[in-house]
Structure 1
Amino acid sequence: MRTVLGAAAVTAVALLAAVAVLGPAVWGGVAAHVDMDAALQPIGAGHLLGTDDLGRDVLARVVVATRLSAGLALSATLISLALGLVAGGLPSVLGVRGGRLVTASIDLAMTFPGLLLVLALAVIFGAGATGAVLAIGVAGAPSFARLTKNLAATVATQDYVSAARLFGVGRARLLVRHVLPNIAQPLVVNAAIGAGQALLAFAGLSFLGLGVQSPAYDWGRLLDEGLPNIYGNPAAALGPAAAIVLAGVAFSLAGEALAQTFGVRRSRHPGPSTPAPTPPAVGPGIPSAELSAGESVVRVAGLTVSVPAESGYVAVVDGVSFEIEPGERVGLVGESGSGKSLTALALAGLTPADVRASRLQVAGTDLLATTGRRRRRSLGASLSMVFQDPMTSLNPALRVGRQLAEVSQVHHGLSRPAALARAVDRLRGVHIPAPRHRARQYPHELSGGMRQRVMIAMGLMGEPRLVIADEPTTALDVSVQRRILRLLRDLSRESGAALLLISHDIAVIERTCARVLVMYCGTVVEDLPVERLAKGALHPYTRALLAAVPAMTTDRALPLATIPGRQPPPGQRPEGCPFAARCAHADERCLRERPPMTRHDGSHSVACWHPRIPEVAHEHA
């Protein structure tokens, strides 16, 4: 009511609702009164819109018909909206084949003209109000479905949807809680406009004799009855026509006002501070496979991730192999496009690309032998993932506490109050001040550092054995970055969970991890302890990355060190060493043969034909 649009919408809808509710009770008797002596009278003092061929007051009949006309239009709109939401939302939560089948069906339905489809369905369902509701509802579903599909496609790629998939959220819950709420605003507008269109369609069917049947009547039937006498009393036909237009305007105003209302999120004012309830212990839920003594948390051998290209599939990650022990902190470093994030997504089962490997195990779960819901539920209980941008990692339509609580509700069977209490406890565990108040807020009300802490707390709602942090500090300032890295390190120590930290910043890896995996062009080229990184790196690419990091002793009079050239595209990788074209030490063998990963000393392995000795570790490659 604070805006002109809102006041106009409320007034129009309230007036329409009042007429629909009170009309039959107040004017029903007048509308049904037959007076043959007053038949077909024009506009006069006693009849503002004249009378029909039975002497009934046209204005009273228009008012009484409001309830049936608006009710049938809203019923058809609800059918269209329900069918459209389901059909349009399915491609975002189904697999590739299922999504394509649903999309093709929607596109096929959209090729039929709407009016012809309504008429055809009206004949199929039969003449009458029920058949008209079904015909208009089904005919309007494809347009809602296509809009929903297009909007949902943009939401389905967000990190918070990926996080929900990782935590094992079912498809129906994923659609209802994470996809549809974030596309509600345009859908509300189109639903309101669709109600006006349904109203017009109903009037058309009734006018043609396929809609409401006598003795019942709606605005379409009144229009049909008044048309033969339009030259003698045009008001008898113009009255119901004006009612259709005004009702459509009311629906459109309501849609625009509701869209603006949904666009404004307000947090609830926190109540008086009370002691937080004791967080419940997490039940058995859906545990991952048990690790045997000495077994690694992650075991990857020959991992290949391929994406579609013009000439088939192209390997973006090619032959990656590594293991991560319980409680170990491992850094995965490399230039953008080296395959770091795709490797992590393959471990989490979140990439739609073609994933193949001779071994792919996470927390005792064989990802190659386990598929579908069972794999999602197992990974959701044992793996946590912290994404790069905390703003896109949290669902903007849900409060922070509800998002965290969902993990315990899905995996551990906790009640809603118990799950919320555990969520508050986890927020407190990642050092968020006033955790009960923060749990009531939406993500946009938190700072970037707090949002990233919330993501970490979400991963700790269970008992994860592996935490994957994909560029968790890129969007944060230096002081907040340091606190987040310290938090990840401390949580790994306290919980015993392994940490895989992905970053293009080698300095971040040095401060947080105990071991470093260096990736280049989709392969791991060096695996070494972090204490050897600064002075003992053997691969020319690793040393070039180190040289590109400025230090306090860097001569500011000289340009910053860079690595000449760039990585070859996935479809154009050379047969030999992928770094050969950018390496100052490459020879003919490097160009012809790809070097295997060879153990150099203890826990230090390198894939290079000419590994350099530690004394020249900072030499520019």
Structure 2
Amino acid sequence: MAVEYQARGAGEEPAKDAAVRGGARHGAGFARPGGTWWRSALRSPLGRCAAGLLLLVLLLTAFGPLLWSGRADAIDTGHLLEGPSAQHWMGTDNLGRDVFFRVLVATRLSVLLALLATALGVLTGLLLGAAPALLGRGAGRAVTAVVNIAVAFPGLLLALFFAVVFGVGTTGAVLAIGFATAPGFARLTQTLVASVGERDYVCAARVAGVGRARVLTRHILPNVAEPLIVNATIGAGGALLAFSGLSFLGLGVQAPSYDWGRLLGEGLNGIYTHPAAALAPGVAVIVAGLAFNLTGEAVARAVGVPGARAHRTPAAAARPAPVGPPAAEPRDTPVLAVEDLRVSFPGPHGPVTAVRGVGFTVGRGESVGLVGESGSGKSLTALAVSRLIEHPGVVDAGRLEFLGAPLPAGDGGGTAMRKLLGTRLAMVFQDPMTSFNPAMRIGRQLAEVAEQHLATGRREALARAVERLREVRVPAAERRAAQYPHEFSGGMRQRAMIGLGLMGRPALIIADEPTTALDVTVQRQVLSLLERVRAADGAALLLISHDINVVARTCDRVLIMYAGRVVEELPSHRLLTAARHPYTRALVATVPHMETDLDRPLTVVPGRPVTPDRMPAGCAFAPRCSAAGDRCRTDDPVLRASGPDHRVACWYPHPGPAARPRAEKSADPAAEAGERP
């Protein structure tokens, strides 16, 4: 029975050192949890001017009607339509009411209605923009199509259309302005959510079994909040202008209530004889609009300026409640069983298959290495078995089982499967900086797994997180739990990522290049930690690496991948001496060792790796293989047995031992990690 589901593309761009020091970059700007961007905004002349104008508008909104309602509504038939004077600074209207005080009193209704319309537009746009992340691929694409159609129309045209639909009056105008501004905000939200939704820390949350709504509210929206707030602030100024325009046309506020737009419409009748009556509300609209727009611009400029924040050390929590052992499974059932796994993506001339018929098993407590050049399909294979490949990628497998249960089709997997993946499968990504949510403290991110799957309270979950940090040798674990990812070193972040996987009782740890960006000392520590975890908890390990030495000394079995296929499988202690496939032997030969002649150029694998969209006929390695024959260029070899615990996919496997001397497996599998033998 084939298993199909949608999954995520592979690979994430590593975070830059500067971004790590100044705050992780995400969304449309630099987000710093609890940062002091507002202080930075106030330091600039633009920020101080914007803050002053905004404070003035808010004060008039709060106190204008309380102070001047009586004078604004007082009718004086003896002073009808008078010009500016010492008694009436902006003159009077057709009932003798003071225009200046009416403008001040109208501030509250004008600003509140604009803010209400902005809030409606932001909330509607947020729901529409986040729909693909909440509803899944099908419904999300339908909502996106509706948003794209709405964005194609000018906002003023949409506002007039909705004003006709909802009717004349304050309520209709609020709904019209709100729904007219929603498509633009929805488009912005879609872009920001999509940019953050592919980050490793979001994928890690999905592997942990966190539901869609919680992933959106805890891991995505906090990391795009600042650009959304900036645009909402600027949008408030636009809503104020639009609402005044509707009232000016007679579609907004109706008598006896009045806002700036209605006062502007009334004053326009005598613009040539009494211009001050129209000038005063017009100036008020401009000043308030500038206050909101300049505030948004000042905040936008300040976002990204590094700031500091004092961190609180959490109080000592109670010891974590013991977690009962998982239900026993048959000992002969493999942790992971994969047969005929294929991963494809749409291409200009049809589907492009990046993983082609991969099959393997990982037994309980076993360590299996996955080795190959970049682009060979190693990471895609790991992402496929972890259910992290989304549309437009398609995964198909003849068998895809974890702990004896088939991984279900679809992209949610249901509550039971989320719990299984959250507690029994751990994923250690290549770059821990992008694997952690930069807007959440390390301790909270680890505790989330316990809260979701172990039914523990907030304090107990945090205590368990601190305990796991201690287990992975993070110094001062209680203090470190209160820090953010950018405050950890690279090796410490990798340890914390392993601790995240240990919040449950993992039966399988998938480590995708866990030591690539680390120096050799930290490499040794991380690999030793993985080995200790595997020995202590009996967890299986699927280790993906480019380093032949690391895999040979850490793993029990090794799978060699090329062009999306497994071309050889053999025990790790025979990798350096008994490899039979030409590609495996070429990889082993490229690794320098103590007997390498330093006067000769280093050995390289000839040619370039093939790309999935240009797969040749026959054996994919034939164009680079010196031993290839005619059959290799027409027939694709299958993976077949070539001895005890040894399989090879080659028509002409090498019969003799490999050229380099055998390396004894170290008592400490990571003792020589990163060293060149």
TM-score between both structures, scaled by the size of structure 2: 0.88
**For residues 611 and 255 of structure 1, what CA distance do their matches in structure 2 show?**
67
Whole-angstrom CA distance in 2 between matches of 1:542 and 1:242: 77
Q: State the shift of 1:346 in Å.
A: 0.8
Identity, in percent, stands at 55
SS of the aligned residue for 2:296 comes to: helix
Match status 1:24 vs 2:65: yes
Instruction: Indicate the residue corresponding to 2:398 in structure 1.
Output: 358
1:276 offset after TM fit, Å? Answer: 4.3
Provide the residue aligned with 1:73 in structure 2. Answer: 114
Q: Identify the structure with the greater helix proportion.
A: 1
Is the contact made by 1:543 and 1:618 (CA closer than 8 Å) also made in structure 2? no
Task: Give the match for residue 302 of structure 1.
Answer: 340
Could you tell me which residue of structure 1 aligns to residue 13 of structure 2?
Answer: none
Structure-1 separation of matches of 2:307 and 2:501 = 26
Does residue 383 of structure 2 align to residue 345 of structure 1?
yes
1:280 aligns with 2:280: no
Whole-angstrom distance in 1 between the partners of 2:303 and 2:464: 29
> Is the 1:283–1:412 contact (alpha carbons within 8 Å) kept by the matching residues of 2?
no
Per the alignment, residue 22 of structure 2 pairs with none
Which residue number in structure 1 is paired with residue 278 of structure 2?
A: 237
Match of 1:442 among 467, 478, 484: 484
Residues of 2 paired with 1:574 and 1:260: CA distance? 52
User: Which amino acid is 1:299 matched to?
Assistant: A
Preserved CA contact (<8 Å) 2:234 2:297 = no
Give a deviation string over 1:17-55, Cα, whole Å, max 9, x none.
111111011111111111011111111111111111111
Distance (whole Å) between structure 1 residues aligned to residue 225 and residue 659 of structure 2:
56
1:370 Cα offset (Å)? 7.4
Cα deviation digits, residues 411-470 of structure 1 (max 9, x gap) = 222222221111111111111111122111111121111111111111111111111111
How far residue 290 of structure 1 moved from its aligned partner, in angstroms, is 5.8
Aligned partners of 2:605, 2:145: CA distance in 1, in Å?
A: 47
State the superposition RMSD in angstroms: 1.9
Alignment of 1:552 with 2:605, yes or no, is no
* 1:249 is the counterpart of 2:295: no
Whether 2:144 is the aligned partner of 1:100: answer no
The letter for the 1-side match of 2:168 is A
- Indicate how the Cα distance of structure 1 residues 350 and 252 shifts in structure 2: closer, same or farther if over 3 A, else same: same
Deviation at 1:257, TM superposition (A): 4.0
Q: Residues 363 and 466 of structure 1 are in contact (CA less than 8 Å); yes or no, is this contact kept in structure 2?
A: no
Q: Check conservation: 2:317, 2:459, Cα contact below 8 A.
A: no
| Counterpart check, 1:501 vs 2:543 | yes
- Separation in 1, partners of 2:57, 2:646: 77
Equivalent of 2:330, from 247, 272, 292? 292
Higher relative contact order (CA 8 A, sep 6+): 2
Match of 1:335 among 360, 367, 373: 373
Alignment partners' CA distance in 1, 2:56 and 2:651 = 83
Which residue is equivalent to 1:416? 458
The code of the aligned residue for 2:373 comes to E
Q: 2:527 aligns with which of 470, 485, 507?
A: 485
Instruction: Find out whether 1:316 has 2:354 as its counterpart.
Output: yes
Q: Residue 642 of structure 2 aligns to a residue in which SS?
A: strand
Cα distance in 2 between the residues matched to 1:566 and 1:83: 51
Per-residue CA shift, 1:522-542, capped at 9, x if unaligned? 111111111111111111111
- In structure 1, distance between residues paired with 2:641 and 2:64: 87
In structure 2, the partner of 1:50 is: 91
Once residues 568 and 212 of structure 2 are traced to their aligned partners in structure 1, the CA distance between those partners, rounded to angstroms, is 40
- Contact 1:168 / 1:373 at 8 angstroms: preserved in 2? no
Which structure 1 residue ranges, 5 or more long, are not aligned?
Answer: none
Q: By how many angstroms is 1:274 displaced?
A: 5.4
Moved more, 289-298 or 132-141: 289-298
Which residue type is aligned with residue 520 of structure 1?
Y
Query: 2:124 matched to 1:86?
Result: no
- Helix, strand or coil at the partner of 2:248: helix
**Structure 2 residue matching 1:36: 3-state secondary structure:** coil
In structure 2, runs of 5+ residues without a counterpart are 1-38, 662-677
Residue 417 of structure 1 aligns with an amino acid whose one-letter code is R
Tell me the CA shift for residue 124 of structure 1. Answer: 0.9
The equivalent residue for 1:597 is: 639
Contact 1:283 1:413 in 2 (8 A): no
Say if 2:210 is the partner of 1:169.
yes
1:330-362 deviation line (CA, Å, top 9, x unaligned): 110000111101110110011122111111011
Partner amino acid for 2:132?
Answer: P
Q: Which moved more, 1:262-271 or 1:86-95?
A: 262-271
Instruction: Determine if contact 2:576/2:658 at 8 Å carries over to the other structure.
Output: no
The answer to whether the 8 A contact 1:267-1:441 is kept is no
- TM-fit CA distance, 1:93: 4.8
Q: Is the 8 A contact 1:535 1:614 kept in 2?
A: no
Contact 1:151–1:183 (8 Å) recurs in 2: yes
The 1:404/1:258 distance shift into structure 2, 3 A limit, reads farther
Displacement of 1:265 in angstroms is 5.6
| Counterpart Cα distance in 2 of 1:331 and 1:415 | 37
- Say which is worse superposed, 362-371 or 58-67, in terms of deviation: 362-371
Partner of 2:12: none
**Structure 1 residues 499 and 265: alpha-carbon distance in aligned structure 2, compared to 1, 3 A threshold:** farther
- TM-score after normalising by structure 1: 0.95
Q: How many residue pairs are counted as aligned between the two chains?
A: 615
> Which residue of 264, 267, 291 maps to 1:226?
267
The one of 222, 232, 241 aligned to 1:191:
232
Check 1:322–1:265 CA distance in 2 against 1; reply closer, same or farther (3 A cut).
Answer: farther
Please tell me whether the aligned partners of residues 188 and 259 of structure 1 are also in contact (alpha carbons under 8 angstroms). no
8 Å contact from structure 2 (residues 510, 543) kept in 1: yes
CA distance in 1, matches of 2:564, 2:435: 25
> Contact 1:92–1:149 at 8 Å: present in 2 too?
no
Q: Of 584, 601, 605, which residue of structure 2 is paired with 1:563?
A: 605
CA offsets 1:388-433 (integer angstroms, 9 cap, x no match): 1111111111111111111111222222222111111111111111
Determine the C-alpha separation between the residues in 2 that align with 1:456 and 1:174. Answer: 20
Match of 1:179 among 220, 235, 248: 220
Of residues 103, 116, 123, the one that matches 2:164 is 123
- 1 CA distance for matches of 2:388 and 2:328? 22
Do the aligned residues in 2 keep the contact of 1:538 with 1:617 (CA within 8 Å)? no
Following superposition, the deviation at residue 254 of structure 1 comes to: 2.5
Q: Structure 1's 434 and 276: CA in aligned 2 closer, same or farther, altered over 3 A? A: farther
Paired letter, 2:503: M
What secondary structure, in the 3-state scheme, does the structure 2 residue paired with 1:179 have? helix
Contact 2:589 2:659 (C-alpha < 8 Å) held by counterparts: no
Residue in structure 2 matching 1:203, options 230, 240, 244:
244
1:537 pairs with 579, 595, 613, which one? 579
Q: Which amino acid aligns with 2:572?
A: V
For 2:649 and 2:370, the matched residues in 1 are separated by 16
Cα displacement string for residues 45-96 of structure 1 (whole angstroms, at most 9, x for unaligned residues): 1111111111111111111111111101111111111111111122245433
Cα pair 1:268 1:440 within 8 Å, conserved: no
- In structure 1, what is the Cα distance between the partners aligned to 2:174 and 2:516? 53
Query: SS state of the match for residue 38, structure 1?
Result: coil
Counterparts of 2:395 and 2:316, CA distance in 1: 48
